[in-house]
Amino acid sequence: MGYPENVLATDEHVVLHRHPHWGRLTIPALILIIASAAAAFLAGYVNTLNWEQNAKTIVFAVIAAVWLILVGWLSIWPFLNWWTTHFVITDRRVMYRHGLLTRSGIDIPLARINSVEFRHGLVDRMFRTGTLIIESASQDPLEFQDIPRVEHVHSLLYHEVFDTLGSEESPS
């Protein structure tokens, strides 16, 4: 899925578009599986009891409500946050957008970037993810966590910055 063209300037092209690393979704996925298994087990157990049908219906509704709250809060919400988080490099800027109900973001023009660093530990390297650190001329370094293939992104961004600076400094 490409980044929406309506947020790009005229003649601006997306070089890279990434969501945070999929590893951010492992705990929400485990919670979905465990909560569903527990709800199914409880519903199956309640179904074997010799209770009145109205009592069983109420207990089923409580189980479903607890399951829905747990899954919605701890699985669906993190997935939607992951889905609506974008790290985009264009031929002119770096954009970071995140948030589901309240959106926020930052744009860093490539010409303003002073340095690009990355950091990833052993576990991050195993999952091919890491933190990208961008230092611009006007503010403290910005850290972008869980960037997939952070070394590749670092190299690509460095080359884009070099190309941008080279084109601005070259005589016309």
pLDDT at 81 over 50: yes
Q: 43, 61, 81: which is the final residue of a domain?
A: 81
Mean pLDDT over each residue of the chain, to the nearest integer: 90
Alpha carbons 16 and 111: distance in angstroms, whole number? 17
- In sequence order, what are the residues at sequence separation of 6 or more whose Cβ sits closer than 8 angstroms to the Cβ of residue 131? 118, 119, 120, 124, 143, 144, 145, 146, 147, 150
Residue 144 lies in a domain: yes
**Each residue of 74-100: b (16+ CB within 10 Å) or e?**
ebeebeebbeebbbbbbbbbbbbbbee
Determine if the pTM surpasses 0.85: no
pLDDT of 101-118, one tens digit each? 898 999 999 988 988 999
pLDDT of 9-49, one tens digit each? 888 899 999 999 999 999 999 999 999 999 999 999 999 99
Task: Give the closest residue to 94 by CA, choosing from 33, 39, 154.
Answer: 154
3-state class (DSSP) for residue 127:
coil
Residues 90 and 164 occupy one common structural domain: yes
pLDDT at 121 over 60: yes
Q: Say what the pLDDT of residue 172 is.
A: 40
Alpha carbons 45 and 69: distance in angstroms, whole number? 21
Q: Say what the pLDDT of residue 90 is.
A: 92
Total count of domains within the chain: 2
Q: Say what the pLDDT of residue 164 is.
A: 73
Residues 118 and 164 occupy one common structural domain: yes
Residue 3 lies in a domain: no
Q: Say what the pLDDT of residue 130 is.
A: 96
Residues 47 and 103 occupy one common structural domain: no
Average pLDDT of 63-91?
95
Q: Say what the pLDDT of residue 43 is.
A: 96
Range of the domain at 149: 11-19+86-169
Residue 109 lies in a domain: yes
CATH number of the domain at 128, please.
Answer: 2.30.29.30
